């Protein structure tokens, strides 16, 4: 009997027998905490374990990415609390200059294929993009992981999703992702691992896999991988999708699976745009936006916020001339981090504001009182040029 990828990874980290539905105790290769959740971890740790050391300081990290550099006194205090704890315990901090923790873990070679990584980030399952079992957890779990290097986990069932066909030239990995989310909703992948395979996903770049795997969270799944399926393994269910000719997609307020063809919302006024997030914050996402914006200006009165995922991406934007194009078009380019998806360092939407975003969530109130549409970098860039929702091919 074969094993699905999640079963293989978990089995290599536990002495317990691995089978779907079974709860096992699993060794964790990397445990991390952000400036959100991290301060709670520090407080929990000191309350529960006093001056005890963490299980292994070389496997324990802080990654600051939510409010970077701190824009409120409380975040400044919280980050400093984590830094003090880190110094005391000899833990490395990827500080406020470094960008989104999950991406930093990939770039630094800490999240590797076949390893297990946890942290206080619900999109840490993004690490499925490199066949790593990443999992977001709350601060109690992470405190316990800092101390013991272990966690309990219910082995999920695996859903396999074959994605056939070739998307249209105007569509991107984000459109593919939104379409898959539309089809799977929040039920079909709920509490399952997902293995994506087939023509439409097998050649996705790392950035494309990151986009797809990041939104398995919005499908209510545990994690997604792009992998070859094991015909001898037991899958809970199989889905086959055909994306031939898929055109740009958009998720309308206020849920990510509320997905339509962009053409259905063409002409809807927007006031602001955001390109970035763990879902669309890689160099090729900004390069795609730059191809739309080169030689064009963002419409007067429209604000486009751009946030690279990491410092390394930021450097690419500089060295490849992408930053120049974005700047010249009128975009606001900030330092790397999670800004744009939650209350962080680049602001929120006001009442009546309509935003188009490359993020992964558009729940009511998440980014403020305005409304949020989710789309690809190309669609966001094009929409900001005309101040209305539009696909790049119609610009």
Q: Which residues bind other proteins (CB under 8 A)?
A: 23, 36-37, 39-40, 43-44, 48, 66, 72, 74-75, 78, 120-122, 124, 136-141, 143-144, 147-148, 152, 154, 186, 190-191, 217, 220, 222, 255, 342-343, 361, 363-366
Q: How many C-beta neighbours within 10 Å does residue 140 have? A: 12
Minimum distance, C-beta of residue 394 to other proteins, in the bound complex (Å): 32
Minimum distance, C-beta of residue 365 to other proteins, in the bound complex (Å): 4
Determine the Cα–Cα distance for residues 65 and 345; give it in Å rounded to an integer.
9
Q: How many C-beta neighbours within 10 Å does residue 25 have? A: 13
Closest to other proteins by CB, 125 vs 329, is: 125
Determine the Cα–Cα distance for residues 11 and 41; give it in Å rounded to an integer.
28
Minimum distance, C-beta of residue 379 to other proteins, in the bound complex (Å): 24
Q: Which of 25, 30, 31, 1 is nearest to 13 (CA)?
A: 25
DSSP helix/strand/coil, 194: strand
Minimum distance, C-beta of residue 55 to other proteins, in the bound complex (Å): 9
Closest to other proteins by CB, 198 vs 276, is: 276
Minimum distance, C-beta of residue 125 to other proteins, in the bound complex (Å): 9
Q: Which of 275, 278, 335, 306 is nearest to 111 (CA)?
A: 278
Supply φ then ψ for residue 133, to 5 degrees.
-85, 90
Q: In what order do the strands lie in the sheet with 60-63?
A: 92-94, 60-63, 30-34, 116-119, 133-136
Closest to other proteins by CB, 224 vs 377, is: 224
Strand 30-34 with 60-63, pairing? parallel
Closest to other proteins by CB, 153 vs 265, is: 153
Closest to other proteins by CB, 142 vs 302, is: 142
């Amino acid at each position: 009997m074969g094993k699905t990828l999640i079963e293989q990874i978990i089995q290599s980290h536990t002495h317990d027998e691995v089978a779907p539905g079974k709860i096992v105790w699993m060794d964790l290769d990397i445990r991390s905490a952000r400036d959100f959740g991290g301060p709670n971890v520090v407080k929990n740790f000191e309350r529960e374990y006093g001056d005890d050391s963490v299980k292994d300081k070389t496997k324990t990290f802080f990654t600051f990415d939510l409010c970077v550099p701190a824009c409120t006194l409380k975040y400044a205090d919280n980050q400093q609390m984590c830094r003090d704890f880190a110094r005391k315990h000899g833990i490395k901090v990827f500080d406020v200059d470094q960008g989104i923790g999950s991406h930093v873990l990939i770039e630094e070679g800490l999240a590797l294929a076949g390893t297990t990584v946890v942290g206080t980030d619900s999109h840490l399952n993004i690490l499925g993009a490199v066949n790593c079992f990443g999992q977001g957890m709350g601060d109690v779990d992470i405190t316990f992981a800092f101390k013991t290097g272990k966690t309990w986990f219910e082995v999920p069932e695996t859903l396999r999703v074959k994605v056939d066909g070739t998307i249209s030239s105007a569509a991107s990995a984000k459109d593919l992702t939104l379409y898959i989310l539309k089809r799977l909703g929040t039920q079909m992948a709920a509490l399952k691992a997902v293995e994506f395979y087939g023509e439409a996903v097998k050649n996705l770049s790392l950035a494309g896999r990151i986009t797809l795997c990041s939104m398995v969270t919005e499908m209510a799944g545990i994690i997604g991988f792009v992998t070859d399926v094991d015909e001898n393994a037991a899958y809970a269910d199989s889905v086959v999708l055909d994306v031939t000719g898929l055109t740009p997609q958009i998720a309308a307020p206020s849920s990510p699976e509320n997905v339509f063809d962009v053409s259905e919302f063409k002409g809807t006024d927007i006031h602001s745009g955001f390109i970035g997030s763990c879902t669309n914050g890689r160099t090729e996402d900004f390069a795609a936006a730059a191809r739309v914006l080169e030689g064009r200006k963002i419409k007067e009165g429209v604000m486009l916020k751009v946030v690279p995922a990491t410092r390394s991406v930021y450097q690419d934007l500089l060295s490849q001339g992408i930053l120049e194009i974005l700047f010249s078009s009128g975009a606001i380019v900030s330092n790397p981090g999670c800004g744009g998806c939650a209350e962080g360092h680049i602001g929120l939407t006001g009442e009546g504001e309509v935003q188009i975003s490359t993020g992964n969530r558009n729940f009511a109130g998440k980014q403020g009182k305005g409304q949020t549409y989710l789309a690809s970098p190309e669609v966001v860039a094009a929409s900001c040029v005309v101040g209305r929702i539009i696909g790049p091919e119609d610009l």
